């Protein structure tokens, strides 16, 4: 097809296809479209010369243009045909047929051209780049020859890098699989990936430098066009930025990170599936032996953990690894502790009034803390060492410290601190010593397990707790004497029973001096004084306890004087001296007091018992006097009147005493039975004898029941019912004897030994009182063969004593004790022989 730019070319061109000269192809130039008159002339000429013709256009026309052209020609031919004669009708039909065929061909051609349009557009877009690619051919021959060597040098490292990239992508399938089935194989593939990435990291820089050099060479020698060089520079800049930022994920598409995530998941799975809570029953079955707990994980599992940790550490994932380990293992320890019901550890200082309300929890606290330290934390300590030993001491110690803190060791220490912050109470001293005992028992374990720098918080809380325990215990101990002295101003029990203070102090001091508390109290006092740069001496403890007992005894003397009723005062002193004797004898405290001082309490008990009987029931037999009751003729009526009078007086006195003493209490059963028996022996035999001799005088009287009110048996029964403790009470039944910080103490029951008193029926027999002669500053005066001792100071209760014995009387020189008689202001009441 000729160019359209040739002006000399004719408007039409006729060609003949095949041998049929009557059929030809007429090609029209597009310029005819703008010349309709010329088009008509041409069509007329064609129809005259050759009716069998076809049309062909010089270049591609739009289908619309082709259709318009053909339609125009057709109309021209129709017009010409109409103007022609009938003889040309056949030619016109033939032309019509030919024109129709040409139209169909034009449509097919238009469809083909429309389909080829996008391809032509694509070729049109690629032509500039092809042109730019061919343009360097116009460069100088020498430059083209030299650039080949430079390109080869730059492409070598780049090709190696690309080859490694291909290898990295080849590992993708293996690394995205589950490592559980073949952990060692997975780790081997991961190492290959790490090596490949290291190669890329090391060689990408070199490859980029080579490529930058060749680009610079191409630019300097104008071997490549500017657009091409610009694209190269942009690509190299992107590579340089990635290299500078060390975005390794961009080198492998995030494959390494995905593989490490799977390793972390496998690390967690191994820990979780092999971490089983340890029940306390299993741990306690080992007894008191020191427990170096075996590793709670199998060796094979630990080996797998080592392999995973190595890879995670090599890829800067150690912190995440430790975080997973701490989370899983601390959760396992908490599960073990949850079975112990440790809700009490959350009790705040505002939730209880005093330490007695949580006394039971403190004992549990010691056992639970020992279990946690010796078994749970011991095991975690060893396991941290086994798993992270290769990483370093600081790492695994820090890991263990986090586990201990998250698992609950801080809650144990905080509970102890809460106890120390509670209200002061003597019982609190014992509980503080219990806490100190538990901590002291675990001292070596604490130092070994929590002695590292990572456990600084635990160390601080432990030191604070120990200091609070020691300060609180020592403060309470030294204040005990003051507290006892403060109780001196309170009233005594109205029923004459043993005050709670006395029963508490005896039991309390015995505990302090017992094997359980004395060593730990001594240690606490030693530590406390060492903080003050003071030395501790053993006698400080014993002297303090003895002073407390002395203050208690002085309280008893003071309280006894507060009673208006002398007999109640004697009953009170009798009960308390017996209580001290029975509860101190055979104890550490009793050993400190000594046998002499203990015997004094026993003697005082006997003394006050005798005075009590004399001042109360001992007065009743005298009311049943037989004086003036000699029966003679005519004196029976007189005797009956005397008997009635004396029985009336006896009944009134008995009722008065019984009514008054029915509210009194003797807590010790043996002492109570003994004093009741003495009262029975003082009254019943005399009453029985009197009624046997003189009862018939009034029994026949109309008002006999008014005078013979009691039988001997009823009197005995009534007397034996005295001094019973009130139900649900110990010590004082009716009076509240406040003891400040000691008010709520529950004391122990006391044991008493049986005492027997013998005598002739109808005679009043009193026990002999043994006293220490040195205790009351006795003065010795000799009267011939007799020695008289007189007390220069009255005994408690306002009674004085004298004694005399012959030179043959045996005397214990060591104890300097003797038998004495009891004297009253009215004279000798009873005489006793040695």
Is 248 in the same domain as 267? Answer: no
| Tally of domains within the chain | 5
Here the tokens at position 219 are: 């630019």
Is 603 in the same domain as 734? Answer: yes
Is residue 136 a contact partner of residue 225, using CB atoms and an 8 Å limit? yes
For the segment 405-435, what is each residue's pLDDT rounded down to a tens digit?
A: 999 999 999 999 999 988 888 889 999 999 9
> Mean pLDDT, to the nearest integer, of 566-579?
95
With a CB cutoff of 8 Å and minimum separation 6, the contacts of 721 are: none
Distance CA 552, CA 488 (A): 9
Is 568 in the same domain as 664? Answer: yes
From 206, 229, 252, the end of a domain falls on 252
Is 317 in the same domain as 384? Answer: yes
Distance CA 283, CA 290 (A): 11
Each as own residue / partner, the long-range contacts of residues 348-352 (CB below 8 Å, 24 or more positions apart, any chain) are: 348/418, 349/418, 349/421, 349/422, 352/422
- φ, ψ dihedrals at 473, nearest 5°: -65, -45
For the segment 603-648, what is each residue's pLDDT rounded down to a tens digit?
A: 999 999 999 999 999 999 999 888 877 654 456 778 888 888 999 9
Is 504 in the same domain as 652? Answer: yes
In-domain check, residue 593: yes
In-domain check, residue 495: no
CA distances, 117 to each of 62, 67, 176, 585 (Å): 11, 19, 47, 125
Is residue 407 a contact partner of residue 333, using CB atoms and an 8 Å limit? yes
In-domain check, residue 489: no
Least confident of 139-153, 254-268, 527-541, 709-723: 139-153
Here the tokens at position 659 are: 């009514």
| pLDDT of 502 over the 80 cut | yes
Here the tokens at position 363 are: 């004992």
> Mean pLDDT, to the nearest integer, of 334-353?
85
Distance CA 597, CA 815 (A): 11
Distance CA 360, CA 91 (A): 131
Here the tokens at position 456 are: 């600084």
Is 248 in the same domain as 266? Answer: no
> Mean pLDDT, to the nearest integer, of 9-18?
44
Listed residue (642, 623, 649, 620) closest to 718, CA to CA:
620
For the segment 299-320, what is each residue's pLDDT rounded down to a tens digit?
A: 999 999 999 999 999 999 999 9
Cβ atoms within 10 Å of 119's Cβ, excluding its own: 9
Beta bridge partners of 804: 788
Is 583 in the same domain as 727? Answer: yes
SS3 call for 46: helix
Q: What's residue 54's pLDDT?
A: 52
Confidence of residue 462 (pLDDT cuts 50, 70, 90): very high
Is residue 832 a contact partner of residue 823, using CB atoms and an 8 Å limit? no
From 233, 252, 271, the end of a domain falls on 252
Confidence of residue 141 (pLDDT cuts 50, 70, 90): low
Least confident of 222-236, 262-276, 397-411: 222-236
For the segment 715-748, what is each residue's pLDDT rounded down to a tens digit?
A: 999 999 999 997 654 444 333 343 444 444 333 3
Is 317 in the same domain as 393? Answer: yes
Is 131 in the same domain as 150? Answer: no
Confidence of residue 127 (pLDDT cuts 50, 70, 90): confident
Is 578 in the same domain as 548? Answer: yes
In-domain check, residue 488: no
Confidence of residue 770 (pLDDT cuts 50, 70, 90): very low
CA atoms within 13 Å, Cβ hemisphere of 218:
22
Q: What's residue 510's pLDDT?
A: 92
Could you tell me where the DSSP H helices lie in 513-632?
518-531, 538-561, 566-584, 588-593, 595-615
| pLDDT of 585 over the 70 cut | yes
In-domain check, residue 131: yes
CA distances, 544 to each of 84, 128, 532, 547, 740 (Å): 157, 111, 19, 5, 20
| pLDDT of 4 over the 60 cut | no
Cα angle at 764 between 761 and 769, to 5 degrees? 130
Could you tell me where the DSSP H helices lie in 84-171?
89-134, 141-170
Listed residue (300, 299, 321) closest to 310, CA to CA:
321
Question: 470-505: buried (b, 16+ CB within 10 Å) or exposed (e) per residue?
Answer: bbbbbebbeebbebbeebeebebbbbbbbbbbbbbb
| pLDDT of 808 over the 90 cut | no
In-domain check, residue 381: yes
> Mean pLDDT, to the nearest integer, of 595-599?
93
| pLDDT of 15 over the 60 cut | no
Percent of the chain surpassing pLDDT 90: 41
SS3 call for 727: coil
Is 242 in the same domain as 273? Answer: no
Matching residue, tokens 């029964």:
717
Question: Looking at per-residue confidence, does 649 or 120 come out higher?
Answer: 649
Percent of the chain surpassing pLDDT 70: 65
| pLDDT of 42 over the 80 cut | no
Question: Looking at per-residue confidence, does 365 or 423 come out higher?
Answer: 365
Kind plus residue range of the DSSP H or E element containing 389: none
Least confident of 185-199, 319-333, 453-467: 185-199
From 701, 723, 742, the end of a domain falls on 742
Residue 115: which domain range?
12-135
Least confident of 140-144, 651-655, 717-721: 140-144
| pLDDT of 814 over the 60 cut | no
Question: Looking at per-residue confidence, does 17 or 705 come out higher?
Answer: 705
In-domain check, residue 435: no
In-domain check, residue 479: no
Share the mean pLDDT of the chain.
Answer: 75
Instruction: End-to-end CA distance of the chain: give it in Å, rounded.
Output: 169
Is 715 in the same domain as 801? Answer: no
Rounded to two decimals, the pTM is 0.64
> Mean pLDDT, to the nearest integer, of 249-273?
84
Confidence of residue 456 (pLDDT cuts 50, 70, 90): very high
- DSSP letters of 728-753? T-SS-SSS----GGGTTPPPPP----
């Amino acid at each position: 097809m000729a160019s359209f730019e040739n002006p000399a070319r004719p408007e039409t061109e006729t060609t003949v296809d095949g041998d049929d000269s009557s059929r030809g192809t007429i090609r029209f130039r597009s310029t005819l479209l703008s010349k309709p008159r010329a088009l008509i002339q041409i069509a007329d000429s064609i129809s005259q010369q050759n009716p069998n013709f076809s049309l062909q256009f010089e270049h591609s026309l739009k289908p619309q243009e082709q259709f318009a052209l053909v339609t125009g020609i057709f109309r021209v031919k129709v017009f010409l045909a109409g103007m022609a004669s009938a003889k040309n009708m056949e030619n016109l039909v033939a032309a019509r047929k030919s024109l129709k065929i040409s139209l169909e061909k034009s449509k097919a051609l238009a469809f083909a051209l429309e389909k080829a349009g996008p391809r032509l557009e694509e070729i049109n877009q690629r032509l500039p780049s092809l042109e730019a690619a061919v343009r360097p051919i116009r460069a100088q021959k020498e430059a083209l020859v030299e650039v080949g060597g430079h390109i080869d040098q730059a492409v070598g490292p780049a090709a190696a890098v690309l080859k490694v990239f291909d290898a990295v992508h080849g590992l993708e399938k293996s690394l995205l699989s589950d490592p559980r089935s073949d952990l060692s194989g997975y780790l081997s593939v991961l190492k290959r990936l790490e090596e490949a990435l290291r190669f890329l990291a090391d060689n990408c820089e070199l490859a980029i430098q080579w490529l930058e050099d060749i680009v610079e060479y191409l630019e300097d020698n104008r071997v490549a066009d500017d657009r091409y060089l610009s694209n190269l520079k942009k690509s190299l800049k992107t590579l340089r930025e990635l290299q500078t930022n060390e975005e390794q994920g961009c080198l492998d598409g995030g494959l390494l990170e995905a593989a490490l995530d799977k390793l972390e998941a496998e690390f967690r799975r191994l820990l979780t599936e092999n971490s089983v809570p340890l029940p306390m029953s299993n741990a306690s079955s080992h007894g008191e032996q020191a427990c170096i707990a075996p590793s709670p994980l199998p060796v094979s599992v630990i080996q797998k953990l080592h392999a995973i940790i190595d890879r995670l550490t090599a890829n800067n994932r150690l912190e995440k690894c430790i975080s997973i380990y701490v989370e899983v293992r601390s959760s396992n320890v908490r599960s073990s502790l949850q079975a112990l019901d440790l809700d009490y550890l959350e009790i705040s200082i505002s939730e209880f009034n005093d330490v007695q309300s949580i006394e039971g929890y403190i004992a549990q606290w010691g056992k639970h803390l020992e279990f946690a330290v010796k078994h749970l934390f011991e095991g975690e300590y060893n396991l941290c060492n086994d798993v992270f030993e290769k990483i370093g001491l600081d790492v695994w110690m820090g890991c263990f410290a986090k586990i201990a803190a998250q698992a609950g060791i801080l809650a144990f220490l905080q509970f102890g601190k809460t106890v120390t912050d509670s209200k002061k109470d003597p019982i609190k001293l014992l509980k503080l010593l219990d806490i100190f005992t538990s901590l002291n028992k675990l001292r070596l374990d604490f130092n070994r397990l929590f002695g590292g720098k990572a456990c600084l918080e635990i160390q601080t809380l432990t030191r604070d707790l120990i200091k609070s325990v020691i300060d609180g215990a020592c403060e309470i101990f030294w204040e005990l004497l003051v507290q006892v002295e403060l109780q001196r101003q309170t009233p005594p029990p109205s029923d004459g029973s043993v005050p709670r203070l006395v029963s508490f102090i005896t039991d309390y001091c015995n505990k302090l001096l017992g094997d359980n508390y004395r060593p730990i109290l001594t240690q606490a006092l030693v530590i406390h004084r060492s903080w003050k740069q003071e030395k501790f001496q053993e006698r400080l403890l014993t002297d303090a306890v003895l002073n407390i007992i002395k203050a208690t005894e002085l309280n008893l003397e003071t309280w006894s004087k507060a009673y208006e009723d002398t007999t109640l005062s004697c009953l009170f002193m009798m009960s308390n001296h017996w209580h001290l004797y029975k509860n101190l004898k055979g104890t550490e405290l009793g050993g400190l007091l000594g046998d002499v001082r203990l015997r004094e309490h026993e003697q005082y008990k006997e003394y006050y018992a005798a005075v009590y009987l004399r001042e109360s029931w001992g007065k009743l037999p005298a009311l049943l006097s037989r004086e003036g009751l000699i029966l003679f003729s005519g004196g029976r009526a007189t005797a009956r009147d005397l008997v009635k009078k004396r029985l009336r007086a006896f009944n009134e006195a008995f009722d008065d005493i019984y009514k008054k003493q029915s509210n009194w209490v003797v807590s010790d059963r043996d002492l109570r039975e003994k004093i009741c028996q003495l009262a029975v022996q003082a009254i019943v035999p005399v009453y029985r004898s009197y009624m046997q001799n003189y009862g018939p005088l009034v029994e026949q009287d109309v008002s006999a029941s008014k005078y013979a009110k009691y039988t001997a048996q009823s009197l005995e029964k009534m007397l034996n019912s005295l001094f019973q403790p009130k139900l649900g009470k110990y010590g004082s039944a009716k009076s509240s004897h406040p003891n400040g910080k000691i008010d709520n103490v529950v004391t122990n029951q006391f044991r008493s030994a049986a005492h027997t008193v013998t005598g002739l029926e109808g005679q009043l027999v009193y026990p002999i009182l043994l006293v220490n002669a040195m205790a009351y500053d006795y003065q010795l005066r000799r009267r011939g063969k007799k020695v008289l001792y007189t007390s220069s100071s009255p005994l408690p209760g306002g009674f004085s004593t004298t004694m005399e014995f012959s030179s043959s009387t045996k005397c214990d020189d060591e104890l300097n004790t003797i038998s004495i008689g009891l004297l009253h202001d009215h004279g000798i009441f009873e005489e006793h022989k040695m």
